[in-house]
Amino acid sequence: MATTFADQLRSLPDEALGALIQLRPDLVVPVPADISALAVRAQSRNSVARCLDSLDEFTLLVLDAARLSRAADTALTSVDAILQLTTEVSADDVRVAVDRLRVRFLLHGPPEALQVVGAVDEVTSPYPAGLGRPADYLDVQAAVLVADRARLRRTVLAAPAGARAVLDRLAAGPPIGSLSRDSMAEPVRWLVDQHILVPISEAGRAPRPDGELVELPREVGMLLRRDTGPLGSLRPFPPIPEAPVRDLKAVDSAGTGQAMEAVRATEAILDALATESAPVLRAGGLGVRDLKRLARAAGLDEASAALLVEITYAAGLLGESEVNGSRAAGSTAQDVFLPTGAYDLWRATSVAHRWAVLARTWLAMTRQPGLIGRRDERDRPINALAPDAERGGAPQARREALDVLADLETGAAPTVEDLLALLAWQAPRRARGRDGAHRDAFSGAALLGLTGLGALTSYARLLLVSPEPDEGDPLGVHPEDAPADAVRALDNLMPVPVDHFLVQADLTVVVPGPPEPELGAELDDIAEPESAGGASVFRVTPASLRRALDVGYRADDLHTLFRRRSRTPVPQTLTYLIDDTARKHGGLRTGSAGSYLRSDDEALLTEVLADKRVSAADLRRIAPTVLVSPRPVARLLGTLREAGYAPVAEDVGGATMLTRPKARRAPTRTPRIAEPAGPPVLAGPRLAGVVEQLRRGDIATRAARRAPVTVRAAQGQAVPGLTAVQQHSQAMAVLQQAVRDRAKVWVGYVDSHGATLSRLVRPVSLSAGYLRAEDERGESLHTFALHRITAAVTEE
């Protein structure tokens, strides 16, 4: 019969061992040398805490029942003992929860002699289910009181109203209350005098009458919970909210519209930064004033704009570029935020693909934009893109929030409060303190169009699916195009891109759907955007036509473009406006002197020279048809165009230079997306390979033990069974178990002179790279460096 924890693991069939590894994949990262090392890892604090984080409320309460029902002498419990504490619910539901704990090896041993893994007590509250410690542990007189059940009931019933209120609060948990050392409140004084409450020290060890803390003994708490049960309210099943169910087509339609709006707003933000970059704050991040400017440009509130700014930076669409400061002599270079070259590539893809990039980045980025605008612990505001908004747990919080929606009925649209309650039941330890992150996740999903009308969209479900490893992918390495199904689904839901528009008599241009990339680029040149949505609206203005002429269009090109693209007759007013703008365009020529301005129209040059709006250009006449300026050509062109003139640049030969201005871009940078949290998915051949590796390692370790090498003991005697080839991981397992059991072990170690010695000790602690242990007579405490320990064997 398997006795030790490692022996119980070793006796498992391959299927059961594989199930344990699937439920606790951190146990094999990296793969342990053998089963003994696996057992050590399975009992470690970090692994046990990680496993507990994934358990639901009911299973954790059943584990508390196992802790409460342990026998004082053996520390063992049983399924029957657990059932006695959970009579309010079905025994079958309790057995299912016990099985969940056993298959994860948080409980181990036969049903009639179950043992709780030691680390459970170390990483959980010392008060299981909110109940205090036994009375015989706290105080002798309290133990005498609770031993007489009838007397205990009479004493509790006789409690004054104020004292009964204190009891009810402590019975609900936690069972600890604080006292004033100078004056004890009358109700509490009465309870202490009756030994219903026990004064304790802050360390919770030695009782003292004038202590600052009091504790409610476990037996009293269980008596006070007689109506609700010893563990309180038990909910074996999740609190599924009664939510309205939306039609999936309506959900997808609303989500698709929001996804298109998110893409449009992202482009507006990055275009605004390309036009006017934003400086990087000295402490890092984007200033409040610049964030407000970007929010206005995108037509969003500041919180939504901050979210999109964070996503674009994490996706590598936005970056930092160094520009030379020119405000004062000797000024240093200054970093500014600008779109990167990746933005141009991203913009050339379909709307669905652009959305998928934003959505995947949001899911994986370790930033929490909901913190932006709040204050940190030093009462300083948290800015967008500042280091203070970094949160390593943000990706997991988003996954949890969307997974809880995905598990509900298709089209279900519960309230945020209902979803938070469901999350708190599914993983109470993990959900604790994450309400803010989960709320941010739901609002972010709505902004990006992953949800519509409060329900999860069909394409968002496809985005959340992680394909299981198959025979063609035994290592579980998923391809980069994993969201291809989501992109195709969103593409099918979006309006078909159009290649035409409708020109109205008031010079507005209506695009009845998302424009094709080529049409979108043309509209950017020839018109000003007015509104976006399913049908976007642009307006043709003299300024937009001058912009088109500036990038190389001729009047004939514009006439042809409008005739080819418009499904309505081109208004005569637009034809006249194009011809009039083209006729004036290029009437002024500029070059470098700094720069010069020339024209055959002397009166026009006289008008420009007298115009106060262009005084910043410092123009002066050097000939009847020529003006010069110390400003660069680009600066002179911009000043004249802002004043309403239509100059063009020319080269040294006098030929007109009509080119599209080069977009300002920051250097391309790697997207700041974290690797998926947690261990990789294990299944199929990969899982079988891990199990086989563990079995082989176990066989090799056992074979090595068959060649014993006697080690010289400190006092000269031989140490039976201590071998020099014993695995270091096995020695750690023996030492950890000895710390728990307070058992004596023979420790083999190498001293500072290189000699191999051994000593019989009783381990006290194992941490920070050192073993601290008492010698066999308990007279002194020895410290051993773990890297010098060669073996450890329990005393026979």
pLDDT along the chain (796 residues), means of 10: 80 92 89 87 91 93 92 84 90 94 93 91 88 87 87 90 88 80 67 87 50 83 85 89 91 92 93 90 90 92 95 92 52 77 88 92 92 85 90 90 92 93 92 89 95 93 68 39 78 87 92 85 87 82 90 91 93 92 83 82 89 89 88 88 88 75 70 56 80 84 56 43 50 80 81 75 82 74 81 72
3-state secondary structure of 714: coil
599 and 633 Cβ atoms separated by less than 8 Å = no
> Using CA atoms, how far apart are residues 222 and 156, in angstroms rounded to an integer?
12
Q: Give residues with Cβ within 8 angstroms of 358, minimum separation 6.
A: 262, 263, 266, 308, 311, 312, 315, 448
640 and 632 Cβ atoms separated by less than 8 Å = no
pTM: 0.73
> Using CA atoms, how far apart are residues 352 and 361, in angstroms rounded to an integer?
14
> Given the structure tokens 């201005």, which residue do they identify?
661
DSSP-assigned letter for residue 27: G
Long-range pairs for 627-632: beta carbons < 8 A, 24 or more residues apart = 627/596, 627/597, 627/598, 628/593, 628/594, 628/595, 628/596, 628/597, 629/593, 629/594, 629/595, 629/596, 629/597, 630/593, 630/594, 631/594, 631/595, 632/592, 632/594, 632/595
Phi, psi angles (nearest 5°) of residue 31: -65, 125
> Using CA atoms, how far apart are residues 60 and 427, in angstroms rounded to an integer?
9
Phi, psi angles (nearest 5°) of residue 591: -145, -170
- Kindly report the number of other CB atoms within 10 A of residue 413's CB atom: 20
> Using CA atoms, how far apart are residues 65 and 9, in angstroms rounded to an integer?
24
Q: Residue 312: name the closest of 403, 324, 278 by CA.
A: 278
> Using CA atoms, how far apart are residues 201 and 309, in angstroms rounded to an integer?
52
Supply the pLDDT for residue 330. Answer: 41
Supply the pLDDT for residue 443. Answer: 94
The residue type of 399 is R
> Using CA atoms, how far apart are residues 559 and 542, in angstroms rounded to an integer?
14
Alpha helices for 566-622 (secondary structure H): 572-584, 602-610
Q: Give residues with Cβ within 8 angstroms of 21, minimum separation 6.
A: 27, 28, 682, 687, 690, 691
Angle between helices 542-550 and 517-526 (to 10 degrees): 110
> Using CA atoms, how far apart are residues 449 and 452, in angstroms rounded to an integer?
6
The residue type of 315 is A
DSSP H or E segment with residue 782: strand 781-785
Q: Residue 312: name the closest of 353, 278, 263 by CA.
A: 263
